[in-house]
Structure 1
């Protein structure tokens, strides 16, 4: 089998790091056409990565569904893609998820930290550098850790193919309102952006410090205190539920950071996304999942469906972990149930569909949210109302997933 340099920009024929040249084989025709990469396992072995990682990366970059048949060493990308194109994408994968940024050496291992960061640990120079957590592959890696950090495995679902059915479900639930269409923007653009991204929920030990959507103190006084914080002069202020996720900082100091961030957003509602990011970094809340709750409550109004599309880059930029996605839902619960219940409660299916179509929250996170009524963000009765209104969307999501599973079994 022909080999090439792992770094193709290095022309030295004696370069020690080699990998097989990628081979692609196109099978099928029409809507069933697909590209098989018969030597993906060998390539991945040369890169010290699971073969599912580069395959999934191809799917993310091409907006295509992928399939792994590890037992048969078959790694498939839907659609027809020539070897040269995939080889170029593999170069990008190597740069983002294999090479050490310091010494450009491929002798790295991926390590997932307790804070759900992904680190490239270089065995050559000793440097430890993170990867871009905003990339969709990072979410996949967190759910499917490398060896010795195992998580559960699951199948893939094609979100883009379900959009029209979801729009119909939300429209029917809202009495024919067209708010989803306004949020979707260009359907072609969304189809290119939204790719297959679903797997079983992570195992419990991966999130052992998680609060599991609940709080301990549910006395009337505690509930009233939280509601007062929500409906006070700054409805966007963050309610810290006995959890300090900012590296052990003083809890009052942490709350102050979020209050300052909320004050800035309220006083500068027309700030650009870049300006908001700069302020978040200055206050050291950039990347924190709880800052997302502040953004949703401070910036979003009854026109939330359009605003979700406007601030998509900002929300995704904070992070792609399950906690970040849950914070989006938590902020929306407060927005729908506390701030604008009369205007938004009936539009819950449309709002959630927009969130799903914009790839802000994955179906596994929606499924976990739907499992039980939470008292973390709003009181129990309000949470029940939101869950009830969201039922058409959740039911559609479940049915679409079952149909996708059935189609995969037929294939």
Structure 2
């Protein structure tokens, strides 16, 4: 199912964290009984943290048609024939009026209803602003009469349990469908193999009859083009090759059916471990494990970059000169040398990150490989800093994340793999200390992601 950013103004932001499913509408019936069923209204309302009855009623108010939402079946019906595009435009109006904060535009708001004051407010969880909803809209009256359920109430718990059961049932049906397709595919392959074996058997039988007929007529094997007697008795190379092809295909079919993709760990630690397991104590010492370039080589490369382009007034055009020096180098080594060249050790890391963000953004763009290599370069730089200065790495991650230099999945990927910086000479102890320094910001990202999943 396609996901869209919540709010029409945020559609162009590829890293916007608040998303909702694309509205799906199905027209049912005909004549006077024609109606529109919003198929995924429950999923949309869950993404907006609003009751699906509110969105359904809003459509009815805006279109001047009767609307109804069934809590038991989760069906949202609006009388009349309405396209998905029309309903999507109306949904944007609902989001602006009853979802997004009037101050910061954040959709992470909680609706509050005061029956005594006859007032509806939106409490923003981001900026804390309290927005007052326009009570002149017809939906406001409906919300006053049908306030949102208390999260601690039994009705809300019952709805959540029903939703979990519905999702579990859907997953079971999906698994059954996948199993049925796998069984049908396996059966089709077995039938194809049986048909192929039968065809080969018939061809052999026809050849055998032809040879027997030729021998009965007293013709020589060479004149009739048949095979020698030794081939007929022991089996010809052609028949043996066909049998080998038939037997060899089973291994590939089993691999395809199991869906297992095998790989070999090529890290330095894994290579050393395999050497100790497979070789004797004497020969294991002869195995050389590549631990990445030495630190002085990256420093020398950074000096070459500084000579190729002055770092006092560097801009995106600096890459034209740097590419000549960095040609043929791994991405991790490139970014480690660039950061060592650009950043002033006597300045705050956050100031350096803000000062040179545009230069890095020109090269990183939205490529996860470049983003991961940039984080490896940062790890190399922090591994050479003091313990106090190393804690500023969390601020660098914050700047890069907010300026779209690195995405959240890439940060998580880098943090979980402590050996990814071994290519630039960072050992396990240094990698552990760097991750301990940036842990506060990584935990903040994880908490924000967990809150998003809970709200959804």
Question: Normalization by structure 1: what TM-score?
Answer: 0.41
Name the larger-Rg structure.
2
Comparing both chains, which one has the higher relative contact order based on Cα–Cα distances under 8 Å and sequence gaps of 6 or more? 1
